[in-house]
Copies of this chain bind each other. A is one copy, B any other.
Amino acid sequence: MPNGRKDLALLVDLYELTMAAGYKAIGRSEQRACFEYFFRELPPDTGFAVSAGLEQLLEFLEQLCFSEEDLEYLESTAIFSRGFLDYLRDFTFSGNVWAVPEGTVVFPGEPLVRVEGPLGQVQLIETFLLNTLNYATLVATKAARICLAAEGDPVMEFGLRRAHGPDGGLSGSRAAYIGGVSSTSNVLAGKEYGIPISGTQAHSWVMSFDEELEAFRAYAGVFPEKLVLLVDTYDTAGSGLPKALKVFQELRDKGRNVRAAVRLDSGDLVSLSKLAYRMFTEAGFGNPLIVASGDLDERQIAQLKQQGAKINCWGVGTQLITSYNYPALGGVYKLSAVERESGWVGRMKVSSSPEKLTLPGRKRLWRCFRENLCIADVIALADEEQPAKSEFSVAVPGQLDQRKKIEAAARCQELLKPVMSAGKRAGEQESLSEIRQRAAKAIELLPPNLKRLDNPQRYPVYVSDRLAKLTQQLLTDIE
């Protein structure tokens, strides 16, 4: 089970269980159905998202079972029949799953995970799937944006104290690493996922001594290597920086090979970092490490850089781990087809809000490239052949009668891969660093106009002719 818990089967909205009980009661729980996961909107001013959370989902699906204790609790609610409790006692997930690999760049409306299997099962996993994919994708996306703003400087994730509970920290750290941060302060994330860990010191260290210089000397005595001193407890310019310099000089005088390194956590980070840089370089400490922290986000990092701050390492906590300006990705998991004797039949949700309309059918997803940059994605039906030539007709979602042609795409790549077959993983588990490299490469291949911090272009996502026709036909049927 994800994150060391063995008993997350009940981490489920009650209605998933009552619906599964309903399907069981009317003899439909084994009828096959297809659900797809997608999100409708990107965070504000964000041109792309980075998918994450799949590994945790697959681990959950592989191990999903209900303990006797779970069944006793469910029995105590007096909601469920004996027959349904027996069904849960024997429950294992036997469905098929297709998904975009973690670390893939993705866009609104695209099917990111497709799950097919017995209706009772594929319904029951909805809540966990959404919980896991929504949060992980949100944080990986925020991390990617912050790392773009940092322009290659290392970003340390420091968010655990403001994360939403232990797991908000743990899976958040994993997702942030996928999105590009260099390290985390979260030691458990280091242990469980192999993420590099990092940290400096807290104000309390300095405050526990009678004198700031004494506090710095004591820390340097214990950790002379990779020493980073926090200089803003009392007066950064007047006390913290000169005393830190003194300690680095003392280390150098003892023959140590020292890189001067400080953390600035408050005050005007532009002027203070310039001052620190000048003090250290004038004293012969070239290339000092100047870490900044204190409620930073991608906009502040960009502005500090633009104003010439001499900061070369960023500690980002709250804004990253909570995706502060957009703390929930509205991903949904919608029924898109049911199997009848005649074969798969598409299903869609209509709504008074046209943007809430869902696309019917079992789907696949292509990405089209030209000169190594991706130029458009196409959502198609699962049984459609990938177009052999590099020019094909597509429709615009929301205006399905409006046709476009994708021309001169050098190649198309299939994004939804089989990852689970009859409840067993297909293929090897990827390492977290492979996933992180995939994300880095995918972001590199994005057109620059998608990577702006403000008003990025909207990436074109089309639907195939056949999918457009099916959608229009079902709409007519419903009306």
Contact surface of A with B, Cβ cutoff 8 Å: 2-5, 7-8, 10-19, 21-23, 25-26, 28, 31, 33, 35, 69-70, 73-74, 77, 119, 123, 126-128, 130-132, 134-135, 158, 160-172, 185-188, 190-191, 197-205, 207-208, 218-219, 221-223, 232-236, 266-268, 318, 322-324, 327-330, 334-335, 338, 347-353, 356, 478
Q: Can you list 6 pairs linking A and B with CB atoms under 8 Å apart?
A: A13-B158, A131-B163, A162-B328, A207-B334, A208-B338, A235-B352
- CB atoms of B131 and A22 under 8 A apart: no
- CB atoms of A163 and B166 under 8 A apart: no
Q: Which residues of B contact A130 (CB under 8 A)?
A: 161-162
Nearest residue (CB) in B for A135 is: B164
For the complex of A and B, 6 pairs with smallest distance between CB atoms: A14-B199, A15-B199, A167-B167, A164-B164, A165-B167, A164-B168
Q: Which residues of B contact A135 (CB under 8 A)?
A: 162-165, 168
Q: Which residues of B contact A18 (CB under 8 A)?
A: 199, 201, 223
Cα(A227)–Cα(B295), bound, Å: 47
Contacts A11-B169, A266-B351, A352-B266 known; A328 to B335 CB distance under 8 Å? no
Least Cβ distance of A432 to chain B in Å? 16
Cα(A101)–Cα(B162), bound, Å: 21
Nearest residue (CB) in B for A185 is: B13
Cα(A6)–Cα(B349), bound, Å: 43
Cα(A356)–Cα(B267), bound, Å: 11
Least Cβ distance of A206 to chain B in Å? 9
Q: Which residues of B contact A207 (CB under 8 A)?
A: 334-335, 347-349
Least Cβ distance of A238 to chain B in Å? 10
